[in-house]
Amino acid sequence: MRDVAIIGVGMTKWGEIWEKSLRQMFVETAYEAIADAGIEKLDGMYVGSMSPGLFVGQEHIGALLADYLGQKNMPAGRVESACASGGLAVKCAFLDIASGNSNIILAGGVEKMTDVSGDGATYALATAADQEYEVFHGATFPGLYAMMARRHMHEFGTTRRQLSHVAVKNHENGSKNPLAQYPFKVTLEGVESSTMIADPLTILDCSPITDGAAAVILADMETAKKVARNNPLVKIIGIGHASDSIALHDRPSLSGLEATRLAGERAYKMSGKTPEDINVAEFHDCFTIAEIIVLEELGFCPKGKGGEFTEACNTHIGGKIPVNTSGGLKSKGHPVGATGVAQVIEITKQLRGECGDRQVEGAKVGLTQNMGGTGASSIVHIMEVL
């Protein structure tokens, strides 16, 4: 396979974007990535989007977005893996280039989630769970992750306060990210006294409903070196992808994420790296308990010790492994199809040294972990600056 580098990134402000349509958000973001890369033409495009048909009534968005981007007639398509759709778009772009089929590909993600009611958004998101055995009986994602949190607490002694530390840290990081949906700080007490959603998870344990888009430009290494301007080249050195039973009741444990563990093992093997080599990471913190479990499954701390590891500030900027320097899904936002791409953008900018007040000093190797539903699909990317 050919080596593949990230040569351009683009992301616009996330939040409740009433004044822009799905296509407008995506095109603005894609143009930003194209300008960052210093190119004019693409060989193809993959767009991650979980449920555009349910959120805005629009399917067939690959052709739509290529047309509005001024790249009509190029190969373009939408990919879907629930909340891991963005990560899947990056993987598909990587493979297209690594195989020799294409030289320059845009991997993007977009979701317009606030054009429907809260009930409508809940319905759309619930399609990532098991409809017959979970959703039909009233399960929601806060409820499912609350069960995972309670089981983790029961098995390992994880505390309510340790969950709060995840939210406080990620909002601290997000307060330094001008593109974040909720760029404000929160306190431990504020998290715990906020509205209860599904015991033990309060509203400040949960990622928000978000409109947003993100885009990265990938190229083969020969092309990347030709078009590179002042940007350091960031090489994708490892990818891992795995799936699991979609319903929690079919899994051997509620306190683990097997697909994440397997995806991590595959990415480490491909890259030749270990958890000790990773300088900065972006995790899929759709709920605070998710970040704690992912820490364990990716080998950054022993099983059951994620809460303690977090409470000891190991995941802060300046700690052993800074996690979610962007603010994560919790503070930056979670437009489900775009999240995995935005994670790659944050790591790319960290490795380039472009993150300002939230920069991890000396970062050379970074990791992203994106997952769908309650972890029924998971994708891990490992990147290194050249």
> Could you tell me the sign of the dihedral formed by the alpha carbons of 127, 48, 113, 256, in that order?
positive
Distances in Å between the Cα of 77 and the Cα atoms of 193, 296, 332 are: 44, 34, 26
| 368: helix, strand or coil | strand
CB 38 within 8 A of CB 227: yes
Residue 300 CA, distance from chain mean position? 18
* Residue in 83, 92, 301, 355 annotated catalytic: 83
Give residue 236's region: left, alpha or beta (phi > 0; psi -120 to 50): beta
What is the side-by-side strand order in the sheet with 365-372?
A: 76-79, 44-48, 104-112, 211-220, 4-11, 234-243, 377-385, 365-372, 280-282
| 215: helix, strand or coil | strand
| 235: helix, strand or coil | strand
User: What does the alpha-carbon distance between residue 261 and residue 300 come to, in Å, rounded to a whole number?
Assistant: 11
* Residue in 171, 316, 334, 381 annotated catalytic: 334
Active site residue 334: yes
User: What does the alpha-carbon distance between residue 197 and residue 107 come to, in Å, rounded to a whole number?
Assistant: 34
Question: Mind telling me the catalytic residues?
Answer: 83, 334
